[in-house]
Amino acid sequence: MANFIDRRLNSKNKSTVNRQRFLRRYKNQIKKSVADAINQRGVTDIDSGENIIIPKKDLSEPVFHQGSGGIHDKIHPGNDKFSPGDRIAKPPKQQGQGSGQGDASNSGEGEDDFTFSISKEEYLNLLFEDLELPNLEKNQLDKLIEYKTVRSGFCAEGVPSNIDIVKSLQGSIARRIAMTSSKRKQLKAYQETLTALNQDKHDHINEERELKNKIAELETKIAKVPFIDTFDLRFRNFAKQAVPTSKAVMFCLMDVSGSMDQATKEMAKRFYILLYLFLSRTYKNIDVVYIRHHTQAKEVDEQEFFYSQETGGTIASSALELMNKIINERYNDNQWNIYGAQASDGDNWADDSPHCKSLLENKILPKTRYFSYIEITQRAHQTLWQQYQQVKESHSNFTSVHIKEVSDIYPVFRELFKKNTKSAA
Amino acid sequence: MVTTAKKKTNKTTPLDDCPDWTFKLLAQYQTEIARVAKHYRLDTYTNQIEVITAEQMMDAYAGVGMPIGYNHWTFGKKFIQTEQTYKRGQMGLAYEIVINSSPCISYLMEENTMPMQALVMAHACYGHNSFFKGNYLFKSWTDASSIIDYLLFAKNYIAKCELRYGIDEVEATLDACHALMNHGVDRYKRPQKISLDEELKRQTEREEYLQSQVNTLWRTVPNNNENKNEKQYNFPSEPQENILYFIEKNAPLLKSWQREIVRIVRKISQYFYPQKQTQVMNEGWACFWHYTLLNHLYDEGLVTDKFMLEFLHSHTNVVAQQEYNSKYYSGINPYALGFNMFIDIRRICENPTEEDKAYFPDIAGSNWLDTLHFAMENFKDESFISQYLSPKLIRDFKLFQIHDDEHNNYLEIAAIHNEQGYKKIRQKLAEQYNLSNLEVNIQIIDADIEGNRSLTLLYTPHNNIELGESKTEVLKHLHYLWKFDVKIIQEKEAGQYKTIAQCPEKTDE
């Protein structure tokens, strides 16, 4: 009357398609949630997925249901103190509309938001959909040469540590078979003749002796074929292959002079987070160098970079000098993909701005993949912006953008890294 | 109901009670349960018992009881919800899921212990299964032998539509159908059974035929009527409560594949219609039988004390009823109510009191097994409760009724578990399970086929309860299917009708 079926080994991802459909449908809401979530992350925190929050009302599937008002009769269990005719004050109206008896499933649960997790890959894909790194293809192979050793078959010469035992012994067997097969055939023939002679009624002493000698001679010959010969040895072969480097370094430059308040720094931080996440999609290892400056530049850690307060004037070139120095010392531009991001409120000592321009044009931009400058300010642009505008016109791997408030960051970022289909043609 | 530990008279060796199950052991228990079930005349479809993992159980959850579901985002949403609550430990998964099909498919969770598997087999494979086969609602509304085929047909058809017309189009159509899914049943007409062969055979010709019918209905060739202002006839001639059916047959601009999708959703809605109406009975019946069957095995000495203790522990959890002032209270537990009612019917048959004889002259002292089978076969929740809820059970549950009238600023205790209250409580509790009180009463009363093609629906309130907020949203979906103006009206005073929702929205009214 019953059949048992073990379904445990069947695929368990029956719902994958439906899950994808869900993500597809709510892409806009999910994207918004993803963009909001950026604010709560540390710059290098990219290993986690993300919790997505969608307001419940966006998700509801409406059906006709009974609303409020009218007469409701409801039976409850466990009467401990009531008598017929007792009156109880109505509980105060609640925000939700869970009063009706028919609508419990749909609207009775209040307005909790719908929260779920997406994986890191899904998160990054949503965040950076339609974006690409500028200049990646153009420079990848001619400049970024790094070698990787890869296996490439076997060869007859090499160092003992690379001997491949299996291959060598296979060679040995083959050689031994090849060198002895004719002799073995002969030997077999002699042995058969000898047996025939032995069984013969007549004596063949001479012939037998002669045959035995021949057999002995052949056996010695066969035994003399060496078990292994240098000729048999096979070595694993390795070859060098040029690969594009997967290392990148990201320089975060920020003005921390008195005019930069905490809110401005937070905005800059978000921009750095986005850049870091984006780079991490392409590069395996990313170093982040934080350089902050007022009149002097200093390399610091993340915590100090974002949260320590300094006062004083502003000389932006000091940071660029330091960046150049660090590149020369630690990040050879043949091995590292160098990205720079500078954030400032635009204040700079007026005489310094042309110097910044020349530093960028002559020293930094030739080595970097991309350098972006964001100016976070509500005021009018000053000399630094004007100088940088000139750089922008003459260099394709430099860009400067203006951010006024937090909500500008993500659109600006998208604008910067938008997939440029025209340039490819 | 305390199990009495009877002296084991016969020398049967008990079945292995180790917590880890094996397929061999499952089969042994199954054989014994089947034998006892037969003893109690439980008539079932052939069982197909599938062992699955927790992940697969979550998939099964997401499919809302359909073993094969078409693809739609709402199932993805359900899956994500289940996954989230399960992972956070807010919810345990059910021990089993059972599908009303022939053969009857039951899913057992891999994690269950052997006693749990035995409980689940008795509960699902013999309790629910015999209910599916015996109850009149299931007999007349569903066809267990063809549902799997039909679901497969639906899945393939919808997948084909997605390829041909695009995911977005299909999704929008399905969304609209889902919004009206509760209005896809003719309550007072017995439905035709779904048969796959017929479906396939008729599907193509139906597409063409339907379209031609619609075309006839909506023909724009002018009639030579003198008095154009007067309506020729009412269409539909009688109010239609089956909105999906009306759409399928009459929506003017629907494409033929969309009609087929409307039909699929309607058929699935019909398949689940009996389950909505028999929750208390179905679960009560299954609980009664897992309890009775396993106790029978215990009495025979086939299962051990250790087994029984674990079984009773789970059983008590399932049929526990929280009281109204408990913080875990979430209404009446259908398992508890149903189980206790069946136990109580058996008691009334076997040991009736004077009170029972007065209340239940027909069944007091009758053969309990006959009475139970009769009750299972011929009732739904509403009628079952109004027929069989005994004063004793009302006292045991300490039921009381709260009356909430919006015109009063207080709640009133209308009845409690005393002599004056029994019948009132029984009647109100039965009404609480009456689907036509729970679901809104909306009917299509007019489609202006000669004028602007607008569709008018009438909402008839139950107990003066207003139509819920979502009406405008649902109307948008209906508008998507109908493509012309739709509105809902409600009778406010005698003869005075007021539009309570319309789509597209108009400001002039």
Chain B residues touching residue A122 (CB < 8 angstroms): none
Kindly state whether residues A354 and A308 are assigned to the same domain.
yes
User: Is there a domain that residue A354 lies in?
Assistant: yes
A204 pLDDT band, cuts 50/70/90, is: confident
Residues in chain A within 8 Å Cβ distance of B179: 61-63
Residue A122: predicted pLDDT: 76
C-alpha span between A267 and B156 (Å, rounded): 51
Residues A318 and A368 in one domain: yes
Average pLDDT over chain A, rounded to an integer = 78
Q: Which two tokens stand for residue B105?
A: 């498919």
Q: Which domain holds residue A202?
A: 160-237
User: Which pLDDT does position A105 carry in this prediction?
Assistant: 37
Within-domain flag for A20: no
A101 touches chain B (CB under 8 A): yes
Going by C-alpha positions, the residue among B251, B236, B244 that lies closest to residue B182 is B244
Q: Over 70: is that where the pLDDT of B193 sits?
A: no
Touching check for A20 and chain B: CB below 8 Å? yes
| CA distance readout (Å), A161 to A149, A166, A233 | 16, 14, 12
Q: Point out the least confidently predicted range of A244-258, B126-140, B225-239, B409-423.
A: B225-239
Q: How many helices (H) and strands (E) are present in chain B, helices listed first?
A: 21, 9
Q: Do residues A330 and A184 both lie within one domain?
A: no
Mean predicted confidence (pLDDT) in B153-158: 93
**Structure tokens of A133?**
């790194």
Contact B73 A21 (CB under 8 A): yes
Number of folded domains that form chain A: 2
pLDDT digits (tens, 9 = 90+) for B99-154: 999 899 999 888 888 999 999 999 999 999 999 999 999 988 888 888 899 999 99
Q: Are strands A370-376 and A71-76 parallel, antiparallel or unpaired?
A: unpaired
Phi/psi-derived region of residue B494, left when phi > 0, alpha when psi is between -120 and 50, beta in every other case: beta
Contact of A268 with A412, CB cutoff 8 Å? no
Query: What's the pLDDT at B430?
Result: 94
Please check the confidence at residue A277 and state whether its pLDDT lies above 80: no
Residue where the block lists tokens 């209404």? B331
Give the closest of B69, B331, B413 to A84, CB-based.
Answer: B413
Q: What angle do CA A325, A328, A333 make, to 5 degrees?
A: 130
Q: A37-46, A347-356, B67-76: lowest mean pLDDT where?
A: A37-46
CB-based contact, A224 to chain B, within 8 Å: no
Torsion over CA: B271, B274, B276, B279 (sign)? negative
- With CB atoms and an 8 Å threshold, state whether B440 touches A65: yes
> Cα–chain-centroid distance for residue A414?
19
Nearest-Cα residue of chain A relative to residue B432:
A74
Comparing CA positions, the residue from A285, A346, A291 lying closest to residue A320 is: A291
Cα(B212)–Cα(B210) distance, integer angstroms: 5
Q: How many CB atoms lie within 10 A of CB B82?
A: 19
The ipTM of this complex is: 0.82
The rounded distance, in Å, linking the Cα atoms of A22 and A26 is: 6
Q: What percent of chain B has pLDDT over 70?
A: 87
Residue A355: Cβ within 10 Å count = 18
- pTM for this prediction: 0.70
DSSP A362: I
Q: What are phi and psi of B412, to 5 degrees?
A: -120, 140
Higher pLDDT, B342 or B436: B342
β-bridge partners, A163: A235
Which among B398, B376, B389, B374 is positioned nearest to B427, based on CA atoms? B389
Mean pLDDT of all residues belonging to chain B: 86
**Of B439, B435, B444, B438, which Cα lies nearest the Cα of B245?**
B444
Q: Residues near B466 by Cβ (< 8 Å), separated by ≥ 6?
A: A66, A67, A68, A69, A70
Q: Which of A30-44, A103-117, A146-160, B158-172 has the lowest mean pLDDT?
A: A103-117
H helices, E strands: number in chain A: 15, 13
Rg (chain A; Cα; Å): 39
Looking at the fold, whether A250 and A164 belong to one and the same domain comes out as no
Residue of B nearest to A86 (CA): B413
Compute the distance between CA of residue B315 and CA of residue B119 in angstroms, rounded to an integer.
Answer: 8
Q: Does B206 reach chain A within 8 Å, measured CB to CB?
A: no
Q: What pLDDT band is residue B388 in, cutting at 50, 70 and 90?
A: very high
Classify residue A130: in a domain, yes or no: no
Q: φ and ψ at A117, to 5 degrees?
A: -105, 145
* Interface mutation target, options B56, B58, B480, chain A, most CBs of A under 10 Å: B56
Judged against a pLDDT cut of 50, whether residue B509 lies above it is answered with no
Q: Which of B46, B412, B464 sits opposite A1 (nearest CB)?
A: B46
Q: A226: cis peptide before it, omega within 30°?
A: no
Q: CA–CA distance from B11 to each of B6, B14, B267, B302, B309 (Å)?
A: 13, 9, 53, 10, 21
Question: Is position A192 within any domain?
Answer: yes
The full DSSP string for A108-140 is TT-SPPEEEEE-HHHHHHHHTTTB--TTHHHHH
**Token code pair at residue A206:** 């001479």
Nearest-Cα distance to chain A for B479, in Å, is: 14
Do A214 and A270 fall into the same domain?
Answer: no
Pseudo-torsion of CA A19, A20, A26, A32, nearest 10°?
110
pLDDT digits (tens, 9 = 90+) for A85-123: 889 888 776 544 433 333 333 333 344 577 777 777 777
Pick from B479, B53, B367, B229: nearest CA to A12:
B53
| Rounded Cα distance, A154 and A152, in Å | 7
For residue A115, tell me if it sits in a domain.
Answer: no
**Across the interface, do A18 and B51 touch by the CB < 8 Å criterion?**
no
Q: Which residue has the higher pLDDT, B292 or A141?
A: B292
Q: What is the mean pLDDT of residues A198-203?
A: 80
- What gap in Å lies between CA B505 and CA A121, rounded to an integer? 43
The rounded Cα B449 to chain-centroid distance in angstroms is: 35
Using CA atoms, how far apart are residues A245 and A146, in angstroms rounded to an integer?
6
Q: Is residue A267 part of a domain?
A: yes
Q: For residue B162, what are the contacts with CB-CB under 8 A and spacing of at least 6?
A: B71, B170
User: Can you tell me the distance from the alpha carbon of B455 to that of A331, in angstroms, rounded to the nearest whole number?
Assistant: 73
**Chain-chain contact of A68 with B50 (C-beta, under 8 angstroms):** no
pLDDT number for residue B191: 56
Q: Give A-chain residues touching B404 at CB under 8 angstroms.
A: 71-74, 90
Please give the full DSSP string across B407-429, using - where no structure is assigned. Answer: TSSEEEEEE-SSTTTHHHHHHHH
Whether residue A116 is contained in a domain is answered as: no
Interface contact B404-A71, CB threshold 8 A: yes
Cα B121 to Cα B293: distance, rounded to the nearest angstrom: 10
A398 and A287 belong to one structural domain: yes
Distance CA B303, CA B316 (A): 18
Q: Are residues A308 and A389 in the same domain?
A: yes
The HSE-up count of residue B283 (CA atoms within 13 Å, CB side) is: 19
Same domain, A209 and A283: no
What would the pLDDT profile of B25-59 be if each residue is shown by its tens digit? 999 999 999 999 999 999 999 999 999 888 888 88
Beta carbons of A22 and B76 less than 8 angstroms apart: yes
Which residues, at least 6 apart from B403, have a Cβ–Cβ distance to it below 8 Å?
A71, A72, A73, B411, B412, B413, B414
Six-digit token pair at A106? 């749909």
Q: CB B404 to CB A78 under 8 A?
A: no
- Residue B96: phi, psi to the nearest 5? -155, 160
| CATH code of the domain in which A397 resides | 3.40.50.410
* B contact residues 274-333, partner A, Cβ 8 Å cutoff: 321-326, 329, 331-332
| Selected residue with higher pLDDT from A36 and B500 | B500
Residue B334 near residue B283, CB atoms below 8 Å: yes
Verify that A227 and A273 share a domain, yes or no: no
The residue-averaged pLDDT of A376-403 equals 83
Question: Residues 349 to 388 of B: which have CB under 8 A from any A CB?
Answer: none
Contact with chain B for residue A9, Cβ under 8 A: no
Q: Are residues A302 and A363 in the same domain?
A: yes
Give mean pLDDT, residues A146-157. Answer: 82
User: What's the average model confidence in pLDDT over A56-80?
Assistant: 84
Q: Cβ(A63)–Cβ(A92) under 8 Å?
A: no
**Beta carbons within 8 Å of A138's beta carbon, 6+ residues apart:** none
Q: Give the minimum alpha-carbon distance from A281 to chain B in angstroms, rounded to a whole number.
A: 26
CA distances from A177 to A169, A192, A225 (A): 12, 21, 10
The answer to whether A78 contacts B326, with C-beta atoms less than 8 Å apart, is yes
Q: B402: part of which helix (H) or strand (E)?
A: strand B400-405
Report the 10 Å Cβ neighbour count for B196.
17
Most confident region among A335-339, B139-143, B201-205, B320-324 by mean pLDDT: B320-324
pLDDT score for B224: 52
Answer whether the bond into residue A134 is a cis peptide, omega within 30°: no
**In this predicted model, which residue has the larger pLDDT, B195 or B439?**
B439
Contacts (Cβ under 8 Å, ≥6 apart) of B150: B194, B196, B199, B267
Q: Count contacts between A and B (CB, < 8 Å).
A: 274
Beta-carbon contacts of residue B306 (< 8 Å; ≥ 6 apart)? B17
Distance separating alpha carbons of residues B285 and B116, to the nearest angstrom: 18
pLDDT digits (tens, 9 = 90+) for A399-425: 888 888 777 777 777 777 776 544 433
| pLDDT tens readout for residues B195-217 | 556 666 667 666 767 677 776 66
Write the single-letter amino acid at B197: D
The residue among B191, B107, B185, B194 whose CA lies nearest residue B145 is: B194
**Cis peptide bond prior to B252, omega within 30° of 0:** no
Confidence band for A306, pLDDT divided at 50, 70 and 90? confident
pLDDT of residue B266: 92
A227: distance to nearest CA of chain B, Å?
A: 55
Please answer whether residues B171 and B72 qualify as being in contact, where contact means their C-beta atoms are separated by less than 8 angstroms.
yes
Distance in Å, alpha carbon of A79 to nearest chain B alpha carbon: 5
- DSSP label at residue B40: T
- pLDDT class of B343 with cuts at 50, 70, 90: very high
Residues A269 and A315 in one domain: yes
At residue A248, the 3 state secondary structure works out as: strand
List of chain A residues whose C-beta atoms are within 8 Å of the C-beta of residue B406: 68-71
Tens of pLDDT, residue by residue over B392-404, are 999 999 999 999 8
Q: Domain ranges in chain B?
A: 23-135+278-314, 346-437, 440-503
pLDDT at A133 over 60: yes
Same domain, A176 and A215: yes
Whether residue B34 lies within 8 A of chain A, CB to CB, comes out as yes
Q: Would you say residue A138 lies in a domain?
A: no
Contact A417, A131 (CB under 8 A): yes
Q: What percent of chain B has pLDDT above 90?
A: 51
Confidence of residue A14 (pLDDT cuts 50, 70, 90): confident
For B389: left if phi > 0, alpha if psi spans -120 to 50, otherwise beta; the answer is beta
